[in-house]
């Protein structure tokens, strides 16, 4: 189907949204660090207090059918607020005396925030905190499948701004989202933060304006023979079932040493996993993907019993995720690809070289640049995985779905948006955090000369053979 043109009414809506955002930024230009920090706290509380977060989570599930009604991602709001409050974002933010460098922060401008259907309230709150900290304005473009939840979230954040006498239009939301509106918005704003599917990320990069996009996940966890099997099973179950596996960081594949494979499988079942048999595996494949290999929308981030029911089999009570023993890898073998739900593929290996080869082959099917993890106390294994895995982040003995985007027990910057680097078609490997929401001016003062001699720079090649071709007279 051909993509439709933007309507005159939609174009005018975008023009008005951007104009109001720029006016709000101008009104906030004089806000000092203390005032923007207060605004960050206010909007974080408005959308992230337990009662409101619970209501928004329930609203999200009722609207989209995806995810869990428990506000399991609320902790991300707290973490983003913590990180934002601990950093400077106005005036001088860093000094390097030995280099004569002083850095000054400036706003990035008006930001287009593309919000995914799987995170319609936490992602807007996180973007709002970082943007307000830098005196940016944001226009949120929600996914049509969760637009009411995102609009309600932004309404709450705007009310918090108004309560403190700040311009509410620092945060706005498109009421009737569409692809043409999102494209016009990205082309009109100064920066796009695109947290969503590959088509929207590609559109952000082709908008003609700077953009931070994210890549697809296919999180793969190696569990070696030194692992704490009970810990690995428990953490994998938590990661897989958190928000019914809606996040791109949720465990998708486990690569397990053969000597602990049976114990790990038993541990996963004790944590709520159900091992499908060969017949159920084929039924699940047909329910989870259509005939073209595309994920079926009504199985994304849905409860395990609902997925099983659609597939045509039933689950015992207490089972919350589906375990698929697998030994085939590739785009034609769909259980080795990204799953976005409660299905977990489990591979067996003998010898760590085989584990690394399985990881390599899995990422050739998709998910390059995103993440993997390892349950191991063997530093050589951790190092070897880190040297070869084409990913931007590797979590060691952690709940992957939480740890990738930062937790209170690791040092990753808190975020809802994760860059996947050149591997994933993104401009950065980093977690999108405060520094990505600002412009920075470098002021350089003279320092004593720091110029090594040519002999020191060229080393063994100094005064060695040169390769000039002789000039031939004509």
Nearest-angstrom CA–CA distance, 360 and 278 = 26
**Residue 282: enclosing H or E segment and its boundaries?**
helix 278-288
* Distance from the Cα of residue 338 to its chain's centroid: 14
Residues 6+ apart with CB under 8 A from 305: 314, 315, 319
Sequence-ordered alpha helix ranges (H) in 323-459: 352-365, 379-388, 400-403, 454-458
Nearest-angstrom CA–CA distance, 374 and 225 = 11
Of 173, 248, 372, 420, the catalytic one is 248
Nearest-angstrom CA–CA distance, 232 and 397 = 7
Catalytic site residue 134?
no
Sequence-ordered alpha helix ranges (H) in 327-394: 352-365, 379-388
Q: What is the CA radius of gyration of the chain?
A: 25
The closest alpha carbon to 405, from 413, 218, 194, belongs to 413
| Largest Cα–Cα separation, the chain | 91
- The residues assigned a catalytic role are 248
């Amino acid at each position: 189907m051909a993509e439709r043109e933007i309507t005159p009414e939609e174009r005018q809506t975008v023009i008005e949204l951007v104009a109001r955002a720029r006016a709000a930024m101008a009104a906030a230009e004089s806000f000092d660090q203390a005032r923007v920090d207060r605004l960050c706290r206010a909007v974080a509380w408005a959308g992230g207090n337990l009662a409101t977060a619970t209501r928004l989570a329930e609203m999200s599930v009722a609207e989209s059918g995806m995810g869990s009604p428990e506000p399991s991602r609320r902790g991300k709001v707290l973490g983003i607020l913590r990180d934002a409050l601990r950093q400077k974002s106005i005036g001088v933010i860093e000094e390097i005396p030995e280099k004569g460098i002083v850095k000054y922060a400036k706003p990035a401008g008006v930001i287009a925030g593309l919000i995914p259907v799987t995170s319609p309230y936490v992602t807007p709150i996180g973007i709002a905190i970082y943007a307000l900290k830098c005196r940016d304005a944001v226009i949120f473009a929600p996914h049509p499948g969760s637009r009411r939840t995102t609009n309600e979230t932004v309404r709450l954040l705007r009310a918090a701004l108004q309560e403190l006498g700040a311009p509410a239009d620092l945060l706005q939301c498109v009421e009737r989202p569409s692809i043409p509106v999102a494209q016009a918005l990205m082309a009109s704003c100064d920066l796009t933060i695109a947290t969503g599917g590959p088509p929207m990320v590609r559109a952000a990069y082709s908008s003609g304006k700077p953009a931070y996009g994210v890549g697809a996940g296919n999180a793969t966890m190696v569990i070696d023979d030194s692992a704490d099997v009970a810990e690995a099973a428990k953490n994998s179950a938590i990661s897989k079932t958190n928000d019914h596996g809606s996040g791109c960081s949720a465990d998708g594949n486990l690569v397990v040493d053969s000597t602990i494979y049976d114990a790990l499988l038993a541990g996963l079942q004790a944590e709520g996993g159900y091992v499908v048999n060969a017949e159920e595996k084929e039924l699940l494949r047909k329910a989870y993907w259509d005939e073209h290999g595309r994920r079926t929308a009504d199985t994304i981030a849905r409860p395990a019993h609902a997925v099983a029911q659609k597939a045509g089999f039933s689950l015992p009570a207490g089972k919350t995720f589906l375990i698929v023993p697998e030994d085939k890898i590739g785009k034609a073998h769909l259980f080795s690809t990204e799953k976005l739900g409660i299905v977990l593929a489990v591979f067996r290996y003998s010898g760590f070289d085989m584990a690394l080869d399985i990881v390599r082959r899995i990422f050739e099917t998709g998910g390059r640049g995103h993440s993997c993890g390892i349950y191991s106390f063997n530093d050589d294994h951790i190092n070897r995985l880190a040297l070869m895995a084409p990913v931007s982040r590797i979590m060691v003995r952690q709940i992957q779905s939480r740890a990738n985007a930062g937790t209170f027990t690791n040092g990753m910057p808190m975020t809802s948006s994760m860059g996947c680097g050149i591997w994933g078609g993104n401009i950065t490997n980093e977690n999108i955090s405060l520094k990505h929401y600002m412009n920075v001016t470098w002021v350089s003062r003279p320092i004593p000369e720091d110029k090594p001699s040519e002999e020191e720079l060229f080393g063994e090649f100094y005064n060695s053979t040169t390769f000039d071709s002789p000039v031939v007279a004509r």
